[in-house]
Amino acid sequence: MQPSSGLMSVEEAQQRILSQVRILEAEERPLLEALGQTLAEDIYAGFNIPPMDNSAMDGYAVRAEDISTASEARPAPLRIIGLVAAGYTTQTRVVSGTAVRIMTGAPIPPGADTVVPFEETDELEQRQRGALSSGLTDIAIRTAAPRGSSVRPLGEDVRQGALILSQGTLLRAAHIGVLASLGRSTVRVIRRPTVAILATGDELREPGETLGPGQIYNSNSYSTAALVISCGAMPKVLPIARDTVSDLTSKIREGMETDLFITSAGVSTGEYDLVKDVLTQQGSMDFWRVRMRPGKPLAFGLLRRDDGTLLPHIGLPGNPVSSMIAFDQFARPAILMMMGKPLASRPMVNAVLEEPVENPDQRRFYARAVLRKDGDNYYVRLTGSQGSNLLTSMALANCLIVVPEQVTQVNPGERVDVQILEGYEDLFS
């Protein structure tokens, strides 16, 4: 593979990465561990839910014809002949002039076709008079409930043999509940990818260590790992690689048994940007520059494992903002594809710009910004200086203003497209 050294469009870079990514294999997982994963099988119902007619209320199971004329003025008196609670059954048949006291979820007794809630009877008055001590023997029904009232029919939720969940469904909390209601303790899903994360640079130290002159803390591995987790994948954070061919090679080989390899820094044109060279030795490189700002020095290639299989690699820029924005545009879609998830782009809205934005170098500009809604309109302003080293500008942002390559300046009052960042979607839906 001959690497492209020209500036590639964002869309072409995305397509070239995704062309080398495959959906991962399925695995059997316990229900709660499958939350957020993609279903790898069709789910059919083995039985009806509910499995029998049952009560939707605490009350009395009766025959509708016995209470057809009941009212507050002329209650229908019935004799209580039994009690049935949820989890139990009764063979006591409700015949004319009788009722069975019933709890929510309990099976409807034979002969009954309607449930009258407690509050529509004189039970409370009888209890206040002390009837509870000797047990209720009769009840007055004060409403003419139609046949089937407060009865949940057999199979109302799920019919035996029906297709309940289709392969490809992204499992959310309600789906997990449905699977549990069908008696499933495990389910087949597309497995979560493991993503190797490697930061490079002699200047880097881990949080908790003491900084020496000219040193900084390794933030990129942590922000990247957090982004990986937010996608539903599992990060494997490797120790910092120093700026030598031997150490880079050793660290890269530590992460070869993963599904995606992400590095940060070392893919620009500086004397110590060795990652491109080492990656070429360990596999091949497709491209390493994209027409965007921040995030221009983005590399993509394939690492070759010892068994000959290929491992996709994305080389993010070293500046922390560039790294995060490039991850969102390129690594996130790759991870979603691996998991069999829809390749949905970040939500976009059109907003009124509140301050000027310059874009002088014919690259697509992703500007950190704050979006707000006022009435029917969205308004957006920058978080401040747009230096790609200013990580706090990402922490302040809830969106990115997307300025096209051919647009050199956008003025206040003009409308711009805005990409909403992860975690803020519900605020602007």
Other C-beta atoms lying within 10 Å of the C-beta of residue 351: 22
% the chain with pLDDT above 70: 96
Mean pLDDT value across residues 322-336:
96
Instruction: Please give the Cα distance from 263 to 315 (Å, whole number).
Output: 5
Show the domains of the chain with their CATH numbers. 10-24+192-338 (3.40.980.10), 42-49+157-190 (no CATH), 54-152 (2.170.190.11), 348-428 (2.40.340.10)
Of the candidates 170, 180, 92, 126, the residue with the CA atom closest to the CA atom of residue 341: 170
Structure tokens given for 354: 């509140």
Instruction: Please give the Cα distance from 202 to 226 (Å, whole number).
Output: 23
Residue 10: burial class (beta carbons within 10 Å; 0-12, 13-18, 19+): buried
Mean pLDDT value across residues 365-382:
96
Reply yes or no on whether the pLDDT at 268 is more than 70: no
Mean pLDDT value across residues 139-143:
96
pLDDT, tens digit, 9 for 90 and up, residues 170-200: 999 999 999 999 999 999 999 999 999 999 9
Find the range with the poorest average confidence among 154-163, 340-349, 357-366.
340-349
Other C-beta atoms lying within 10 Å of the C-beta of residue 212: 8
Residue 126 pLDDT level (bands cut at 50, 70, 90): confident
pLDDT, tens digit, 9 for 90 and up, residues 228-253: 999 999 999 999 999 888 999 999 99
The contacts of residue 365 (CB under 8 Å, 6+ apart) are 292, 293, 357, 359, 401, 402, 403
Reply yes or no on whether the pLDDT at 133 is more than 80: no
pLDDT, tens digit, 9 for 90 and up, residues 79-95: 999 999 999 999 999 99
pLDDT, position 272: 45
The contacts of residue 294 (CB under 8 Å, 6+ apart) are 317, 319, 321, 322, 325, 326, 366, 386, 388
Reply yes or no on whether the pLDDT at 69 is more than 70: yes
Reply yes or no on whether the pLDDT at 271 is more than 50: no
pLDDT, position 3: 54
Residue 160 near residue 225, CB atoms below 8 Å? no
Please give the mean pLDDT across all residues of the chain: 93
Residue 352 near residue 413, CB atoms below 8 Å? yes
pLDDT, position 342: 86
pLDDT, position 135: 67
How far apart, in Å, do the first and last CA atoms of the chain sit? 43
pLDDT, tens digit, 9 for 90 and up, residues 14-29: 999 999 999 999 999 9
Residue 29 per-residue DSSP state: E
pLDDT, position 182: 97
Mean pLDDT value across residues 280-287:
88
Residue 277 pLDDT level (bands cut at 50, 70, 90): confident
**Alpha-carbon Rg for the chain in angstroms:** 32
What length is written for the chain?
Answer: 429
Residue 121 near residue 23, CB atoms below 8 Å? no
Instruction: Please give the Cα distance from 70 to 99 (Å, whole number).
Output: 14
Residue 71 pLDDT level (bands cut at 50, 70, 90): very high
For residue 35, give the 3-state DSSP assignment: coil
Instruction: Please give the Cα distance from 4 to 357 (Å, whole number).
Output: 30
Pairing of strands 310-316, 348-353: unpaired
Mean pLDDT value across residues 257-278:
77
Using CA of residue 265, residue 269, residue 274, residue 276, what is the dihedral sign? positive
Enclosing H/E stretch for 286? strand 283-287
pLDDT, position 270: 52
Q: Is omega for the bond preceding 107 within 30 degrees of 0, making it cis?
A: no
Mean pLDDT value across residues 194-209:
95
pLDDT, position 129: 77
pLDDT, position 408: 96
% the chain with pLDDT above 90: 84
pLDDT, position 131: 56
Reply yes or no on whether the pLDDT at 103 is more than 90: yes
pLDDT, position 428: 81
For 54, phi then psi, to 5°, come to -145, 170
pLDDT, position 134: 52
Residue 127 pLDDT level (bands cut at 50, 70, 90): confident
pLDDT, position 269: 56
For 233, phi then psi, to 5°, come to -100, 180
Pairing of strands 234-237, 194-199: parallel
